Amino acid sequence: MGRRILFVTTDQQRYDALGCNGGKVARTPVVDSLAASGIRYERAHPQNVVCMPSRATMLTGQHIRNHGVWMNGVPLPADAPTVAGVLHEAGYRTGLFGKAHFEPFLDPFLRFPENRMGVSGATHDEGRPHRGFEQMEFAGHGAAGLVHYGGWLRDNHPEHMAGYFPVLDMTLEVNPEGGGDTGAPQVKHNPIPRGMYHTDWVADRAISWLDGLDGDDDWFCWLSFPDPHHPWNPPSSELHRVPWRDIDLPAGYQEDPEERERILDSKAPHWRRWYDGNLVSNYEAPSKWVPATLTADQVREVNAMAHIQNELIDEALGKVLSAIDGRGWEDDLDIIYTTDHGEFQGDYGLLFKGPYHVDSLMRLPLIWRPAPSATLIPRVVTEPVGLLDLAPTFCRIAGIEVPDWMDGVPLPGSGADDSGHERAGVITEWDSLHPNGTEVHMQSIFANQMLCTRYEAGTCHSGNEGELYDIVEDPHQQVNLWDDPARAATRTDLLEALDETLPARAEPQLAVEAAV
């Protein structure tokens, strides 16, 4: 059979979070070493910039419009084909540890198997593999939620449950004033001991499963860390790692409010409306928080907290890799590391994410360290790739034919024949209907170092707006070239390529079942 696969994901992690991608704050030696001995992708993009659609794409290898999860709160159909199912049928042992989020989190009546499993402590659905995984143990963003980690903490260390930021603040505004030293939104100093934090718990559960496998088993393990997604509440014992007062403001943050607002005004109108507090377009951003109130010190503190979480993830991954090496699997192991989407972290004076297609949210870390037995030459790949290419890559590693229902193609650079994998560009799209009536529809294509986004008519847009950026000349996407006559031909070519690549919308669309 093929080689063993460790698939490592974080949640809401920026491209520049890692040292190998130019990051200068968090120390990430474990991931950096994987990049140095493997393939680092300069331009990996998600097919959607929020959790559920992006995770469904990673699991299925399909465009948003084909798997149907078009926004958070839309569950992936129970009968959706998955790469885990393909691998399991081929004889692989399969496990997922950490954040899954293929089904809505807000599920008080336990309609969905993932949440029933989390509450009961079951690690599979009624004795059957769930979505192709024979073992699943879930963690979310803290102690709350219908996940195994919350039950473990409640049963073993209930005194630490209140240390986390109350996760329902994302929607219920229990504590809208923020926390930490600066009053930054969704920041909290968490007294939980390091070893009980969810990052270490996820690593420990994966190691426990791996320890139970036979030495000659082929396996696919999805190690899915919930951080550095907000709320930002790493253990207080780790705050010394990145003192927020000592770090520089990110390059994408404009300290001058007038310059910041000028840049926002050059973009589509929903950017400025959210900044001014006149629009809520994402469930997870606090509805009463006004981005224009964000201070420079709050940006520093949020960045510091996120980078502390990044360091803890790197160390937890190192612990898992040590356990794998102890089993003698290292020479026959492929490791792929990425995230589901990015985070503003102060860029443009904003936090969180939403219908904003710029590098803050769209440019992702992606590293593939093929097994040493594959004898490849380390390299950097500059051509754009998508998260829909992961599932076909897992099939290639396993020596399995890529199913016809996958839209992606194996990632380039493995040393195998990559011919026939040319495409017009990488697509990212967004459709959303917020309970307040906000409706946004947009599609982007990245090709030839240009990023082009068009907006369909909705509650924020007439259908004539768009954004066009030259990534080489304008790496922070601050100069919108959509209406520049000198770029009209480029815009036309990119829009034609977008239409050639994007599948038709499914009719009817799947229903939104919950907020997140």
- pLDDT tens-digit readout, 62-111: 999 999 999 999 999 999 999 999 999 999 999 999 999 999 998 999 99
Q: Name the pLDDT band for 127 (thresholds 50, 70, 90).
A: confident
Q: Name the pLDDT band for 420 (thresholds 50, 70, 90).
A: very low
**Out of 80-94, 113-127, 472-486, least confident range:** 113-127
**Cα separation, 38 vs 372, whole angstroms:** 9
Say yes or no to pLDDT of 171 above 70. Answer: no
Domain 426-501, CATH class in plain words: alpha beta
Crossing angle of helices 148-156 and 113-120, rounded to 10° = 20
**Out of 135-139, 277-281, 359-363, least confident range:** 277-281
Residue 24: count other Cβ atoms within 10 Å of its Cβ: 9
- pLDDT at position 372 is 92
Take residue 401 and report the two structure tokens written for it: 């034919």
Three-state SS at 505: coil
Taking only the tens place, the pLDDT of each residue in 286-302 is: 878 999 999 999 999 99
Q: Name the pLDDT band for 172 (thresholds 50, 70, 90).
A: very low
- pLDDT at position 419 is 45
Q: Name the pLDDT band for 414 (thresholds 50, 70, 90).
A: low
CB 68 within 8 A of CB 510: yes
Taking only the tens place, the pLDDT of each residue in 384-398 is: 999 999 999 999 999
Taking only the tens place, the pLDDT of each residue in 220-277 is: 999 999 999 999 999 999 999 999 999 999 999 999 999 999 999 999 999 999 999 9
Q: Name the pLDDT band for 177 (thresholds 50, 70, 90).
A: low
Per-domain boundaries in the chain: 4-398, 426-501
**Cα separation, 4 vs 312, whole angstroms:** 25
Amino acid at 450: M
- pLDDT at position 421 is 58
* H helices present in 266-378, as ranges: 269-275, 296-326, 359-362
- pLDDT at position 416 is 53
- pLDDT at position 435 is 78
Q: Mean pLDDT throughout 444-461?
A: 97
Long-range contacts of 133-137 (CB under 8 A, 24+ apart): 133/84, 133/88, 133/94, 133/95, 133/96, 133/222, 134/88, 134/93, 134/94, 134/95, 135/94, 135/95, 135/96, 135/209, 136/95, 136/96, 136/97, 136/100, 137/96, 137/97, 137/98, 137/205, 137/209
**Cα separation, 187 vs 198, whole angstroms:** 16
The residue to which tokens 């885990």 are assigned: 84
Amino acid at 38: G
- Distance, CA of 26 to chain centre: 18
Residue among 3, 203, 181 at smallest CA distance from 98: 203
- pLDDT at position 429 is 98
CATH code for the part of the protein at 4-398: 3.40.720.10
**Cα separation, 117 vs 122, whole angstroms:** 5
